Structure 1
Amino acid sequence: MEPSKEEILAGYGRARRELRARLAGATAADLRRASDGTRWTNEELLFHMVFGYMVVRVLLPLVHVVSRLPPPVGKAFAAVLNAGTRPFDAVNYWGSRAATLVYNRERMGRKLHRTIAALSRRLEHESSRSLMRSMAFPNRWDPFFKPRMTLNAVYAYPTWHFDFHARQLTLRLPDDPGAS
Structure 2
Amino acid sequence: MDTQAVHDDFERARATFRTLLDSATNDELRHRSNGTRWTNRQLLFHMLLGFLIMRALLALTKIVARLPSWAGRGWARLLNAGTKPFDVVNFAGSWLGGSVMPRRAMVVLCDRTIAALHRRLDRETDSSLAKGMPYPTRWDPFFREFMTVADLYRFPVRHFDFHREQLSLS
TM range (shorter): over 0.9
> CA contact under 8 A between 1:43 and 1:100: conserved in structure 2?
yes
Partner residue, 1:18: 16
Residue 48 (str. 1) matches residue 46 (str. 2): yes
**Map of 1:64-143 to 2, 5 A cutoff?**
64-143=62-141
1:134 CA displacement:
1.0
1:34-90 deviation digits (Å, cap 9, x = unpaired): 100000000000000000000111111111110111100000001100000000001
Aligned residues: 170
| TM-score, length-scaled by structure 2 | 0.97
Cα displacement (A) at 1:105 = 1.4
- TM-superposed CA distance for 1:28, in Å, is 0.3
Residue by residue over 1:141-169, the C-alpha shift from the partner in whole angstroms, topping out at 9 and shown as x without a partner, is: 00000010010011110000000000000
- Give the Cα–Cα distance (whole angstroms) in 1 for the partners of residues 48 and 55 of structure 2: 12
Amino acid at match of 1:148: F
The aligned counterpart of 1:158 is: 156
- Distance in 2 (alpha carbons) for counterparts of 1:130 and 1:12: 20
> Which residue does the alignment assign to 1:149?
147
Calculate the TM-score normalised by the size of structure 1.
0.92
For 2:109 and 2:119, locate their aligned partners in 1 and report how far apart those are by CA, in whole Å.
Answer: 16
Which residue of structure 2 aligns with residue 7 of structure 1? 5
1:18-40: CA deviation from partner (whole Å, max 9, x where unpaired) = 01111111100010011000000
* 3-state SS, counterpart of residue 36 of structure 1: coil
Structure 2 residue runs of 5 or longer lacking an equivalent are none
Q: How far apart in 2 are the matches of 1:55 and 1:37? A: 23
Q: CA deviation at 1:7?
A: 1.0
Unaligned runs of 5+ in 1: 172-179
- Alignment map for 1:161-172 (pairs within 5 Å): 161-171=159-169
CA contact (8 A) 2:42 2:99 kept: no
Structure whose residues are more often helix by fraction = 2
> Which residue number in structure 1 is paired with residue 31 of structure 2?
33
Give the root-mean-square deviation of aligned CA atoms. Answer: 0.9
SS in 2 for 1:38: coil
> Aligned equivalents of 2:56 and 2:114: distance in 1?
13
Check whether the contact 1:43–1:104 (CA below 8 A) recurs between aligned residues. no
